[in-house]
Amino acid sequence: MSLETIKPSPGFHNYLPKEYQDLIEDGPFHQKRKVSELGSFKEAIEEHPMCAGCAMTLFIRLVYLGLPSLEHSVIVGTAGCGRLAITQGAVPFIYGNYGDTNCVASGLKRGLDIRFKDTPKDVIVMAGDGGLADIGFHAVMHSWFRKEKFTTIMLDNEVYGNTGGQESGMTQKGMVLKMAPNGKKFEKMDMLGLAKTSGVAYTARISPTNPTKVVNTIRKAVLIAREVGPTYIQAYTSCNIEYAIPTPKVMDDAREVEKDRYGYLEYFSDEAKEYWDKSEADRKKARKAQVK
């Protein structure tokens, strides 16, 4: 999609909502926006029906900023809180069936690759812990085994938030939640370990405490997926409702959990590392040449 595609015919411009006009004139397409610019341009996502203080919403906002080619990205999701915000984004979103994200993304990415040989089209799965680790687990694993070239982002709030607070596989052991009246009986699933075992090219664990880090991680994951193979980001995006975190304390909680058990972790496969180091070196060289 070029900026031309979303531009209306001249006569119609003034009849479109102000929102839409802003997206064209001062939006995120075809230009690199920085974290420091947030609030000063028309973002891909603004209004949303998420709960006040939701950390997941902040994270999703940063994902849109991190996508290296917003105008050529398609996001795939499934039922859960996240899609309430993602459907409001100015990026095509496929809201599939329950837990089918990574099957849909496999077919979508392959189909786009057949049709667009010269333009890389990025497919990004963004769904919750229930959607990816429970109902969509088999599809996630097999997309990794098959080395499908797209990024999977888990919005891990460690609970089924959208259906009202039931235990998920990513809930910590012992937590008392709905459907776990006596506390969860087993450990939080080790999706990062499974990703590594199944040959994911790049894996990262992150909390939304440092926006620049989030943006850079997203960008890295999408670019590596484009060239090397599947990538996986697992983000702590707390549920302040079900875990009763006071709204002003949401970021304090994120920092505490990060320090305690959700610190930044990165894992590269050898191939991904080689690709990333080389492309970083090339970028630096190009930047230097530009300065000169």
- Applying the rule CB under 8 A, the residues between 38 and 77 that interact with other proteins are 47, 49, 71-74, 76
Among 68, 142, 189, 271, binds other proteins (CB under 8 A): 142
On the CB side of 215, CA atoms within 13 Å amount to: 19
x-or-dash string of contact with other proteins, 224-263, rule CB under 8 A: ----------------------------------------
Residues in region 85-124 near other proteins by CB under 8 A: 87-100, 103-116, 121
**What is the DSSP secondary structure assignment for residue 51, as one 8-state letter?**
P
Q: Which residues pair with 129 in a beta bridge?
A: none
Distance in Å, CB of 96 to other proteins, minimum: 7
Q: Do 230 and 201 meet the contact criterion of CB atoms below 8 Å apart? A: yes
Which helix (H) or strand (E) is 241 found in, with range?
none
Q: For other proteins, give the closer residue by CB, 25 or 113.
A: 113
Here's the x/- map for other proteins, 143-182, by CB under 8 A: it reads as: ---x------------------------------------
Considering beta carbons, is residue 106 or 231 the nearer one to other proteins?
A: 106
Between CA 155 and CA 236 the distance in angstroms is 7
Among 3, 19, 173, 179, binds other proteins (CB under 8 A): 19
CA distance 152 to 141: 11
195 vs 200: CA distance, rounded Å: 5
**Number of helices followed by number of strands (H, E) in the chain:** 11, 7
Contact 67, 123 (CB under 8 A): no
Tell the residue number behind the tokens 């999706």, with chain if given: 191
Min separation Cβ 234 and other proteins, Å: 21
Residue choice 33, 42, 61, 83 for contact with other proteins (CB under 8 A)? 83
Q: What share of the chain is helix, strand, coil (3-state, %, to 5)?
A: 45, 15, 40
Count of residues near other proteins by CB under 8 A: 46
Smallest distance, other proteins to C-beta of residue 88, A:
5
223 touching other proteins, by CB under 8 A: no
- Of the two residues 99 and 229, which places its CB atom closer to other proteins in the complex? 99
Q: Are 50 and 95 in contact (CB under 8 A)?
A: no
Closest CA to 116 of 71, 152, 75: 71
**Site residues for other proteins per CB under 8 A:** 1, 5-6, 19, 47, 49, 71-74, 76, 83-84, 87-100, 103-116, 121, 138-139, 142, 146
